[in-house]
Structures are given as C-alpha cells and as structure tokens.
Amino acid sequence: MPTVLALFAHPDDIEFHASGTLLQLGRRGWDLHYCNISSGNLGSTTTPPAKTATLRKAEARASAKILGATWHPPFCHDLQVFYTDENIRRVCALIRSVQPTILLTHPAQDYMEDHMATCRLAVSGAFARGVPFYKSKPPKPSTLTPVTLYHSMPRGHQTPDRQPVHPDAYVNVAPVHAQRQAALSAHRSQKEWLDLTQGPGSFLELLEHDSAELGRRSRKFTLAESWHRHSHIGYCEAGDDPLKSALGKDWCAAPRRTAH
C-alpha cells in the first residue's frame, strides 16, 4: 500500500499541521507513519526535562494510535535539533526503512529553528536515500523509491521576517476534525503548559482558528490544512503530485491571487 511519513520537530507539531492530511490519506488505505524528531523535554514550566520527555513520548504514542499511524521514536531534545551529519544519517535511515511516497514536513522558513532544522534534515535525508555508499544510522539499504515532499505552513502563515506565505494547495480536514482534536488532546502535558502560559483553552482553540483561517483562504473548505510542494529534482518525477491524486475532491489548488 502507499505510504506517508510525517516528519516534524516536536510532539504536537504533527497534530497541528498534518494530522488531517494523514487521516484523509488513511481513509483511502494509505500506511501512516509518525515521527517527531525532538523528545519535547523542555515543554513544561515545572516538570524536570527527563520526566517531561517520558510523558511526551507516551502522549505522542497515544496520539499516533488515535491517528492510526506507526510511531517512530525521537532522537533529539528541544533546542538541540541541529543540521548535523549524524542527524541526517538518522533521518535517512528512517526514510529508507519506511520508503514513503509522500513526506510531510515543516517549511524551510518558520518562527523556530527546530522547525527549520527539521525541514533541512528531511530534505537531505530524502535526497540521500538513493545514494548507495551513503551510510545511514542505523545502516539501511539505499532505495530509489520516488518520494514527493510537501511543506506545511509556518506559524502565523508568515516567514520570520513577517513576509506572508502562500501555499500551493489545501486539504479538506472538516470530515476528520473530531479525530484531529482527539489526537491533539492526547498531548495532555503540552495542553496544561499552554493553558498555563497562554490562557485556558488556547491549545484546541489554536487548532480551530488556524484550520478555519486556512479553510477561508481555500475558498472551498470550512477547515483546511495547506501545503506547498518541494522541487521534484532528486526525489520524483516532475509531474508527481500524489497528494492531489490521492485526495480528489478533498484537495484543491490555492486560489489565484489578484495583483494589487
């Protein structure tokens, strides 16, 4: 069956940016894979990092189960997700093992370095998957299975220097929204932290607000996630767009922007 890998930085990033797309693909028989690179160990104002990492791991596994996805363990800590040789090799091993047709990840520009580093690791790991003498960690045989990369929207739908970002396409997530909320709610420790630091209910409200805003921008869906497609060079054929092919009426191209 076709396979999709969501590779993001922290526990709950997948739920915010990619869970609806994963669920829509899952409804169509795709094999779902879930990996956050960081343990999320700094996501608490009171709990020690080691204990927080243990809690976040259990929560991420519970969320992946709700999504119907195979969970893969993190291998970095918060604010230690760096573009290093070892981390590229780890990501390459994961991609060679899963052999995804679709790879979902962060955008190249975002408000946080962990997100941008994860994007770079995903891009380089995917490129290296087919290089026979590149040794992944752990060692996995190289593969030339085509993979199409898609980048999510950055937080606030803008670059770090506040320039607006416009996606290529939108995915309808309204039919799976309740399941998205359940998956996000599995991250209880994160919810408690955000409720404490940003106000009660902010956790689920952010998901609702962001999905509704992207839905409005799509001019077609009430709730949406959005993506822009990475260059095909080194990954797949020029015309490959498996997200579009798989989702049909639950996918739409971004409306044409009018010049001002």
pLDDT tens digit sequence for 12-24: 999 999 999 999 9
Q: Mean pLDDT over residues 176-202, rounded? A: 81
pLDDT at 194: 67
Q: Taking residues 116-140, report their average pLDDT.
A: 98
In-domain check, residue 244? yes
Given a cut of 70, whether residue 171 has pLDDT beyond it is yes
Q: How many domains is the chain partitioned into structurally? A: 1
State the amino acid at position 120 in one-letter form: R
pLDDT at residue 145, rounded to an integer: 95
CA atoms within 13 A on the CB side of 2: 19
Mean pLDDT of 19-38: 98
Give SS3 for 172: strand
Let me know if residue 116 belongs to a domain: yes
Question: Which CATH number does the domain housing residue 242 bear?
Answer: 3.40.50.10320
Average pLDDT over residues 199-226: 90
- As given in the structure block, the two tokens for residue 124 are 């380089």
Contact by Cβ (8 Å): 57, 39: yes
Place of tokens 């922007």: 257
Q: Count H helices and E strands in the chain, helices first.
A: 9, 8
Distance CA 75, CA 52 (A): 15
Residue 81 pLDDT class (50, 70, 90 cuts): very high
Q: Is residue 260 part of a domain?
A: no
Average pLDDT over residues 225-247: 98
CA 196 to chain CA centroid, Å, is: 25
* 134: containing domain: 3-253
Q: What would the mean pLDDT of 152-158 be, rounded to a whole number?
A: 94
What is the model's pLDDT at position 250? 98
Report the share of the chain in percent with pLDDT over 90: 88
With both helix axes pointing from N to C terminus, report the angle between 49-67 and 188-198 in degrees, rounded to the nearest 10: 110
pLDDT of 259 above 60: no
**Res 260 pLDDT > 60:** no
Q: What is the mean pLDDT of residues 108-124?
A: 97
- 259, part of any domain: no
Mean pLDDT of 55-81: 97
- Evaluate whether residue 225 is within a structural domain: yes
- How does the average pLDDT of the chain come out, rounded? 94
- pLDDT category at 177 given cuts 50, 70, 90 is very high
Domain assignment of residue 76, yes or no: yes
Structure tokens that stand for 170 in this block: 């939108």
Q: What distance in Å separates the CA atoms of residue 126 and residue 186, rounded to the nearest whole number?
A: 29
Q: Is residue 115 part of a domain?
A: yes
Query: What is the pLDDT, as a whole number, of residue 40?
Result: 95
Task: With respect to residue 65, please indicate whether it lies within any of the assigned structural domains.
Answer: yes
